[in-house]
């Protein structure tokens, strides 16, 4: 159910916006997400977290969300990620 809710909240452009709904799905408070951001653009960080969340908890259902992930990566490529692997950093954050 969390996977579906997360996917339903992806914006048309492929990104995710930090909302109360998204923070609940991710199991972190909005404040935790904002303060943990390793990059200035919170929507880039939220999008990276969404990808990492799907990979961490729903890897066996990847065929169901692979296109969603691809759309998110295409959006991330258009953003300044400050030379960081934001998805890997998001994976690390979700593991804490």
pLDDT digits (tens, 9 = 90+) for 4-22: 999 999 999 999 999 999 9
pLDDT at position 12, please?
97
SS3 labels along 19-43 = CHHHHHHHCCCHHHHHHHCCCCCHH
Identify which of 39, 20, 21, 14 has the alpha carbon closest to the alpha carbon of residue 93. 39
pLDDT of residue 88: 96
Nearest to 24 by CA among 6, 36, 10, 42: 6
- What's the mean pLDDT when you consider all of the chain? 96
Place of tokens 């950093």: 89
pLDDT confidence of 96, banded at 50, 70, 90? Answer: confident
- Going by pLDDT thresholds of 50, 70 and 90, the confidence category of residue 56 is very high
Whether the pLDDT of residue 57 is over 90: the answer is yes
Per domain, the residue ranges of the chain are: 2-94
């Amino acid at each position: 159910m969390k996977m579906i809710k997360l996917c339903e909240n992806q914006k048309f452009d492929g990104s995710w916006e930090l909302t109360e709904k998204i923070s609940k799905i991710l199991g972190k408070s909005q404040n935790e997400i904002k303060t943990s951001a390793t990059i200035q653009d919170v929507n880039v960080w939220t999008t990276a977290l969404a990808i990492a969340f799907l990979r961490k908890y729903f890897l066996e259902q990847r065929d169901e969300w692979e296109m969603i992930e691809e759309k998110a990566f295409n959006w991330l490529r258009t953003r300044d990620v400050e030379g960081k692997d934001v998805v890997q950093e998001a994976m690390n954050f979700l593991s804490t």
